[in-house]
Chains A and B, each alone.
Chain A
Amino acid sequence: MSGNEPGNERDQGNELAPQALVVAVQLAPGDHVANLLVAVGRGERVVLRSGRYEQQGLSTSGPPGASTSASPIVALERIPRFHKIALTALRVGSEVVRDGYVIGLTSEAVEPGQWLHTHNLKSARA
């Protein structure tokens, strides 16, 4: 992987409503994380778009298992573009699933809306 660095600016091509909601892609149902398509600041609301090919368009559902919730996830901190936002609360040592694959274990407890990266997500393989 090389090339485009994650930027802090908003995605140029996004046609979002005036009180823009930040969009993140949850690739597979049940994933604990979503990839942000634009950078997000603390307190900003993030709506999920399903990466599922059976569905279309935006979904405002909350974390997996709480699909009835109409409220988007609120980012608890600044998260760069393309990085991962937690969709669900995870205890320390929990498996983290993205696109159906276990991508590592949490090294501390994580709240929905937190940034999941090398500071709190460790490889189980290394």
Chain B
Amino acid sequence: MSSAPLTEFQGYPRAHGPAGVRNHLLVLNTTGLTEATARRVHVALPGSVLVSTPYGMGLLGVDAERQLASLIGLASNPNVGAVLVLSADRPRCDALIEALKPLDRPFAALCSDEVGHDALRLSDRAVREGARLRRQASRVRRTPQPLAALVVGLECGLSDPTSGIAANPLLGRLTDRLVDEGATVIVGETLEWLGTERQLAQRSASPRIGEAVVAAVLRRESLARQAGISLTDINPNRANIRAGLSTIEEKASGSVAKTGSAEIQGVLRYAETPPGAGLYLMDAPAYSPESLTGFVAAGAQVLVFSTGVGNSHVSALAPTLKVCANEATMLGLSEQIDLDCSSLMGSRANPPAVLDELLERLLDVASGTWTWGEAVGEGAECISRFGESL
């Protein structure tokens, strides 16, 4: 372990907003019609990151609004050094282009309707444009950045008893440490607050925020009820009970342990950028692909993801550190888990040392060291849906 103070990382400075921990060329496909073109362009430009939405026309209301907010958010993420936008038609990407202009970030937008809807001509132009953008983005150099510049998303997926006893409480202490340093932390998975919402509300910075926490839980509970599912009746499930969970409150407490004891500064909408530093909850789906993309579109540069039995999913744009406290999982998934915290399940655990190790690993990854997910080539983004299309 190095003796360097755990307060800095080496990041890519951005003209507007916090530093990036990566400097990706983002190939951002914004319409389903151009998906194959985007894939072709991504393959032709090794090292580029492809993010693609299969939708485009007929999104309504919240869906249309959150889809655009997510695309803008992903293109604006500090880890993006340059953006190549692909779209079937120009008007459909106008709003995105307007949002990118003030960022002072190299970008280009290419549309099928400008090349007579010829996918091969679009591909040719896009590859050339992408190469130019990538070269331009490569000029930026890493510089020392304060820990406070980080926006960190926390997730848990495929949990087991070690998650609630060790890994998530560890992430909670990471939250408290990051918040103390002036950084920003986002925790989502609204469904998993169910049972602890009153206590989360009491920890909120204002009564209005507390009401938003409770309202978010009740809304999702009522969504489930409308679909014929009683969340309180099916939780904890039989496997949970065998594993030692007695009530839904206990199940939720194991997940919201990730929030530590910091004050809750607000409840974000899906993909909404936190307006300040500190701990924020995001009212969002619990499934990891949708959840992580919500964090990344909100501006998270790095994610920490606890798992019990293993979970290979990572973000494409934000390095995702996998943390696990299950010794058996560690042995089986040596190219998936970035931090083994199974010592916390033993009799001689030294929690403060494990927390330091996690923070050190986080800063190391923020400074450029790859996660296993990056080394293996995992990574995808998935923008959530909110209703039917026309």
Complex contact B351–A80 (CB within 8 A): no
Chain B nearest CB, measured from A99 CB (Å):
6
Which of A15, A25, A80 is B348 in contact with, Cβ under 8 Å? A15
A103-B308 CB under 8 A given contacts A82-B243, A123-B232: no
Chain B CB within 10 Å — which of A81, A103, A117 has the most?
Answer: A103
Q: Is A69 an interface residue (CB 8 A)?
A: no
Residues A1 and B199 in contact, CB atoms below 8 Å apart:
no
Task: Count A/B pairs, Cβ under 8 Å.
Answer: 146
Proximity bits, B321-345, A CB within 8 Å = 1, else 0: 0000011100000000000001001
Contact A6 B352 (CB under 8 A): no
Q: Interface segment, B86-94, B111-119, B122-130, B250-258?
A: B250-258
Contact residues in A for B247 (Cβ distance below 8 Å): 103-104, 118, 121-126
Contacting chain A: which of B156-164, B179-187, B366-374? B156-164
Given the complex, which residues of A lie within 8 Å of B345, measured CB to CB? 11, 13, 37
> Across the interface, which residues of B come within 8 angstroms of A12, CB to CB?
327
Picked from A4, A104, A117, the residue with its CB within 8 Å of the CB of B161 is: A4
- From 162 to 209 in chain B, residues with beta carbon under 8 angstroms from any chain A beta carbon are 162-166, 169, 173, 194-196, 199
Complex contact B308–A53 (CB within 8 A) = no
Is A78 an interface position by the 8 A CB rule?
no
A82-B165, A126-B232 known; A5 and B347 CB under 8 Å?
no
A73 lies within 8 A of chain B by Cβ: no
Residues of B within 8 A of A52 (CB): 351
Name the distance in Å between A2's Cβ and chain B's nearest Cβ. Answer: 5
- Taking CB atoms and an 8 Å cut-off, the chain A residues in 1-26 that contact chain B are 1-6, 11-16, 23, 25
Across the interface, which residues of A come within 8 angstroms of B387, CB to CB? none
A56–B161 touching, CB < 8 Å:
no
Given the interface contacts A1-B243, A116-B246, A126-B233, does A101 sit within 8 Å of B199 by beta carbon? Answer: yes
Pick from A5, A27, A117: contact of B169, CB under 8 Å: A27
Tell yes or no: B274 within 8 A of A by CB: no
A32 at the interface (CB under 8 A from B): no
Q: Is the CB of B308 within 8 A of A1?
A: yes
How far is A122 from B250 in the complex, measured between Cα atoms in Å? 10
Quick one: which of B233, B342, B351 contacts A56, CB cutoff 8 A? B351
Q: List residues of chain A with CB within 8 A of the CB of B350.
A: 56-57
Asked whether A88 is an interface residue with its Cβ less than 8 Å from the other chain, the reply is no
In the bound complex, how far is the Cα of B347 from the Cα of A14, in angstroms? Answer: 6
Whose C-beta in chain B lies nearest to the C-beta of A105? B247
Max chain A C-beta neighbours (<10 A), residue from B232, B240, B244, B308: B244
Q: Is the CB of A123 within 8 A of B248?
A: yes
Asked whether A101 and B196 contact (CB < 8 A) given A14-B346, A51-B351, the answer is: yes
Residue of A nearest to B168 (CB): A99
Give A82-118 interface residues, CB cut-off 8 Å to B: 82-84, 98-104, 116-118
Point out the residues of chain A lying under 8 angstroms from B263, CB to CB: none
Task: Give complex CA distance A25, B233 in Å.
Answer: 29
Q: B54 CB to closest chain A CB, in angstroms?
A: 30
Contact among A6, A11, A56 for B244, CB-based, below 8 A: A6
- In the bound complex, residues from chain A placing their C-beta under 8 Å from that of B195 are 123, 125
Flag if A5 contacts B351 (CB, 8 Å): no
Complex interface: chain A residues within 8 A of B261 (CB): 100
Q: A99-B257, A103-B253 are in contact. Are A1 and B246 (CB under 8 A)?
A: no
- Other-chain residue from B159, B162, B169, B246 in contact with A103 (beta carbon distance below 8 A): B246
> Shortest beta-carbon distance, B255 to chain A, in Å?
9
- In Å, the complex CA distance between A99 and B168 comes to 11
Given the interface pairs A1-B161, A3-B158, A84-B244, the reply to whether A123 lies near B352 with Cβ below 8 Å is no
Q: Return B225 CB to nearest CB of chain A, in Å.
A: 13
Nearest chain A CB to B366's CB is how many angstroms away?
22
Where the two chains meet, the residues of B that have a C-beta atom closer than 8 Å to any C-beta of A are: 158-166, 169, 173, 194-196, 199, 232-233, 236-237, 239-254, 256-257, 261, 308-309, 326-328, 342, 345-352, 355
Residues in A lying within 8 Å of B, measured CB to CB: 1-6, 11-16, 23, 25, 27, 35, 37, 49, 51-54, 56-58, 80-84, 98-104, 116-118, 121-126
Name 10 extra pairs, CB < 8 A, besides A1-B239, A37-B346, A117-B244. A2-B159, A2-B308, A11-B345, A13-B327, A35-B161, A101-B199, A101-B249, A101-B250, A104-B250, A126-B248
